[in-house]
Amino acid sequence: MPQDAPAPGAAPTAEQLEPVKAAVRALLHQPEYDDGSAGPVLVRLAWHSAGTYCKETNTGGSNGAGMRYEKEGGDPANAGLQHARAFLEPVKSQFPFISYADLWTLAATVAVAEMGGPAVPWQGGRTDYADDAKVPPRGRLPDGAQGADHLRFIFYRMGFSDQEIVALSGAHNLGRCHGDRSGFEGKWVNNPTRFSNQYFKLLLKFEGEWKKTTLANGLQQFVYVDEDLAAGEEGEGEKEEGLMMLPTDMSLISDPKFRAWVEKYAADQDLFFRDFAAVFAKLLELGIQRDAQGRVANEENVEDGYRS
């Protein structure tokens, strides 16, 4: 078993990471879970670990793996991500040298690539907080029930542009909403374990046909059900469950500045893949300061002031 660990304080080398990535690849196929893959929820884990970043105060971000603590892990916005963390626990046991913060972010890049998406540049060296003192406050992640102003408020705080907001949102090609997690229900695209630009295409294709519905819990979302397909398949196996969009997703086509990018990404998958790779890499690096060797500043090697 390869247990070649990096020198103390150093980021793992590419060679040391290979078996870690292979172990992540090996756990992606989960026939009993959701649509058969751990990939989507791993991508969401990395995003929520990083999406707490605030550029004004230089707090939050993927360094530290604060979601291990109730203060962050128990944020209702993170409901369901315990499944993603549990999927990765055997990999952490097998390769104790990799920090949780590195493993969660690395696993998302492996998942994106395995699901047919682009290679996302990734650098290691994150460390895990020793306690919850530096865990950011709750409430920094977006609320799907809101609109374009809210998206800008949340993502400008992290330092993203309108174009980057739209590119990042393309991750909703993957996975689904769960009633017992966010309260929303359903998937955005028909094949939610294949990374593509389908989400942007469907936003535009069914424009005018997305129907606003109110769920039993009072939340509103938009749904599209292909009536013919649904009727035709009744009685013979699975019924078409329809597709959904969150109010925040719909704001990407009602806001003209966002919409210009939705149209570009719907028309050009290569452009979307390039932009997604760049912006997802940027997300995973938020708040991380590196020296010339790529070493991450942390409590041990930086004087007071870092992340204070």
From the CB of 151, what's the least distance to ligand CCH, in Å? 6
Indicate whether 44 belongs to the interface with ligand CCH (CB under 6 A). Answer: yes
* Residue reference for tokens 């050009």: 268
What are the φ/ψ torsions at residue 224 (nearest 5 degrees)? -130, 120
Residues in the chain: 308
Give dist(CA 155, CA 164) in Å, integer.
Answer: 9
- Please identify, among the stretches 9-17, 57-65, 117-125, 173-181, the one whose residues bind ligand CCH according to the rule CB under 6 A: 173-181
Angle, in degrees to the nearest 10, between helices 162-169 and 269-285: 100
- Please identify, among the stretches 63-71, 122-130, 164-172, 234-242, the one whose residues bind ligand CCH according to the rule CB under 6 A: 164-172
- Please identify, among the stretches 36-44, 98-106, 230-238, 264-272, the one whose residues bind ligand CCH according to the rule CB under 6 A: 36-44
- Nearest CA-CA partner of 192 in 205, 212, 206, 178: 178
Q: Please identify which residue in 144, 203, 261, 282 interacts with ligand CCH, judged by CB under 6 A.
A: 144
- Residue 188 appears among annotated catalytic residues: yes
- Please identify, among the stretches 23-31, 166-174, 228-236, 298-306, the one whose residues bind ligand CCH according to the rule CB under 6 A: 166-174
Question: Which CB sits closer to ligand CCH, 47 or 222?
Answer: 47
244: helix, coil or strand? strand
Indicate whether 184 belongs to the interface with ligand CCH (CB under 6 A). Answer: yes
Binding string, 228-267, against ligand CCH, x = CB under 6 A?
------------------x-x-------------------
Q: Please identify which residue in 176, 259, 282, 307 interacts with ligand CCH, judged by CB under 6 A.
A: 176
Indicate whether 111 belongs to the interface with ligand CCH (CB under 6 A). Answer: no
- Please identify, among the stretches 38-46, 63-71, 201-209, 253-261, the one whose residues bind ligand CCH according to the rule CB under 6 A: 38-46
Question: Which CB sits closer to ligand CCH, 40 or 73?
Answer: 40
Q: Which of 48, 83, 122, 172 is catalytic?
A: 48
If one counts every other C-beta atom within 10 angstroms of the C-beta of residue 94, the result is 14
Q: Residue 54 pairs with which residues in a beta bridge?
A: 59
5: helix, coil or strand? coil
The HSE-up count of residue 17 (CA atoms within 13 Å, CB side) is 17
Question: According to CB under 6 A, which residues from 266 to 285 bind ligand CCH?
Answer: 280
Indicate whether 91 belongs to the interface with ligand CCH (CB under 6 A). Answer: no
Give dist(CA 23, CA 20) in Å, integer.
Answer: 5
Indicate whether 40 belongs to the interface with ligand CCH (CB under 6 A). Answer: yes
Helix, strand, coil distribution of the chain in percent, nearest 5: 45, 10, 45
What are the φ/ψ torsions at residue 54 (nearest 5 degrees)? -130, 120
127: helix, coil or strand? coil
Q: Residue 188 pairs with which residues in a beta bridge?
A: none
Give dist(CA 261, CA 178) in Å, integer.
Answer: 28
From the CB of 87, what's the least distance to ligand CCH, in Å? 11
Q: Which of 47, 104, 122, 188 is catalytic?
A: 188
- Residue 29 appears among annotated catalytic residues: no
Angle, in degrees to the nearest 10, between helices 100-114 and 14-28: 60
Q: Please identify which residue in 117, 136, 175, 287 interacts with ligand CCH, judged by CB under 6 A.
A: 175
Give me the residues that bind ligand CCH (CB under 6 A), please. Answer: 40-41, 43-44, 47, 80, 142, 144, 151, 168-169, 171-172, 174-178, 181-182, 184, 246, 248, 280
- What is the set of active-site residues? 48, 188
